[in-house]
Amino acid sequence: MAAEKTIAALDIGSSKMCCFIAVTENNGRLRVTGMSHQASVGVKNGAIVDMEAAYNSIMSAVHSAEQIAGMTITDVVVSLAGARPESHLSMKDMSIGGGAVRDQDVKRLLHEARTQGQSRDHEMIHAIPVGFMVDDTASIKDPRGMHGEKLAVKMHHVNVRNTIVRNIAHSVNRCHLGVKDLVAGAYAAGLSCLTEEERDLGTLLIDFGGGTTSFAVFYEGALLHTDSVPVGGIHVTNDIARGLSTPLDEAEKLKCRHGSAMPTTDDDREILEVPHLGESHDVPNTIPRSYLVSIIAPRIEETLELVRDRLEASGVAGYAGPQVAITGGACQLPGLAELAARILNRQVRVAKPIGITGLAEATSGPAFSCAAGLLSYAVDNRGDARHIEKSKTRDSGGVLDRIGHWVKETFL
């Protein structure tokens, strides 16, 4: 029987730092043994803006998770929740002279395709083979053994600015941890809360975070595109605080307890008490719930419209299919799914982590999809061509799982 393997994930968000520690069981499933989430300080719109504060937040989350798990971790898989990733597709081909495609041909082609996506001021965090072509035959998953004159691969590159990566790595390294891998936040969330069929048929995944809203398009099992907009739940809270002249913590309570992205017929009849800013002993102000909703709804509409416009500009909107899965802590706002369905003109469901055991009820919801997905990626990087040094992983039967299996075989 295979020995259990310990892995750790660190989700660096604008509103919370989350650390999951898990073990891989003999049946291939992940079991979480330690988890912690702390208020995030020093991070804005997915990027670190205060190194000391971010270090303290990371250290606190990791230390608490280690205590619960009863072990010390040495490295973590880390999320890049915002950072405005550069996502693009490229084609690379080579001549094979009419013979059969060999392992070394695939190895050389993937290496060259990966290399052409590199940039001086950006670091490549993903290089994912989307499909192969032999002569005029496209959408090939495994070209080995096929005969032809030309072999080509379509590669999806995701790059992030070097300075963002260095700041994250430095903060994690200060906690005496190594960065085992960096993963785009929406990609990780999709790995944890989408089914294999959803990823195969085409789905848009939107991760509503605190400082950013990230999205990813999956098609034929692969990540086809990812992007983010610098707007999230924190901006809604700020709008409420400014609009009602109330402290931020009170604005957050109002949003969570009474907020909605869509108006209802009862909003005018429900009266809310709103504490004044800087006057803790004064008589609170009173407003109808409809006024609170009138502050929240425009910001949510703006966010969804930004996602829609970025998706349409990407050129891959047609691959996203009719299904949208929304996740992340901010997606739990009442009415958000209905508003998203109207603006995006697609079916919308709220998604949360699946296929992982050991999660407490408080940490099994949409707010923890990214952290759970980081664990999934650590076990199976699904054929990411950057990982020629990775060990072989279990083939679960999915299209990208099979690609990942033979890509790793080819490189090892």
54 Cβ contact partners less than 8 Å away, ≥ 6 residues apart: 12, 40, 41, 42, 43, 48, 171
pLDDT at 119: 80
State residue 280's pLDDT score: 61
Q: Which two tokens stand for residue 77?
A: 């898989």
Complete edge-to-edge strand list for the sheet that includes strand 213-219: 222-229, 213-219, 203-208, 323-327, 347-350
Query: What are the tokens at 88?
Result: 């693009």
Residues whose CB falls within 8 Å of the CB of residue 80, separated by 6 or more in sequence, listed in order:
46, 125, 160, 164, 165, 168, 182, 183, 184, 185
DSSP state of 147: B
Domain 195-350: top CATH class: alpha beta
pTM of the model: 0.90
For the chain, how many residues are written? 412
Burial of 248 (0-12, 13-18, 19+ CB in 10 A): middle
CB-based contacts of 65, cutoff 8 Å, min separation 6: 8, 19, 20, 21, 34, 35, 36, 73
DSSP-assigned beta bridge partners for residue 326: 206, 350
Per-residue tokens: 168: 């994250």
Q: Does this chain's domain 86-161 share its CATH topology with 195-350?
A: no
- CA–CA distance, 220 with 382 (Å, rounded to integer): 12
CB 32 within 8 A of CB 392: no
C-alpha Rg value of the chain to the nearest Å: 22
pLDDT of residue 3: 61
Q: Which residues pair with 274 in a beta bridge?
A: 285
Contact at 8 Å (CB) between 217 and 200?
no
- Specify the pLDDT at position 412: 38
- What pLDDT, on the 0 to 100 scale, is given for residue 160? 92
Amino acid 1: pLDDT: 45
- Ranges under pLDDT 50 in the chain: 1, 388-402, 404, 406-412
Residue 279, pLDDT score = 65
Asked whether 369 and 207 are in contact (CB, 8 A), the reply is yes
Start-end of H helices in 29-50: none
Phi and psi for 75 in degrees, rounded to 5?
Answer: -150, 160
**Residue written as tokens 């005496």?**
176
Q: For residues 369 and 16, what is the distance between their CA atoms, to the nearest angstrom?
A: 13
Report long-range pairs for 348-354 (Cβ below 8 Å, ≥24 apart).
348/324, 349/323, 349/324, 349/325, 350/325, 350/326, 351/193, 351/194, 351/205, 351/325, 351/326, 351/327, 352/193, 352/327, 353/192, 353/193, 354/192, 354/193, 354/195
Helix ranges (H only) for 225-333 are: 233-244, 248-258, 289-314
How many other CB atoms are there within 10 angstroms of residue 408's CB atom?
20
CATH architecture label of 86-161 = 2-Layer Sandwich (3.30)
Q: What is the largest CA-CA distance in the chain?
A: 84
Domain assignments of the chain as residue spans, ordered by start: 86-161, 195-350
Distance CA 215, CA 81 (A): 10
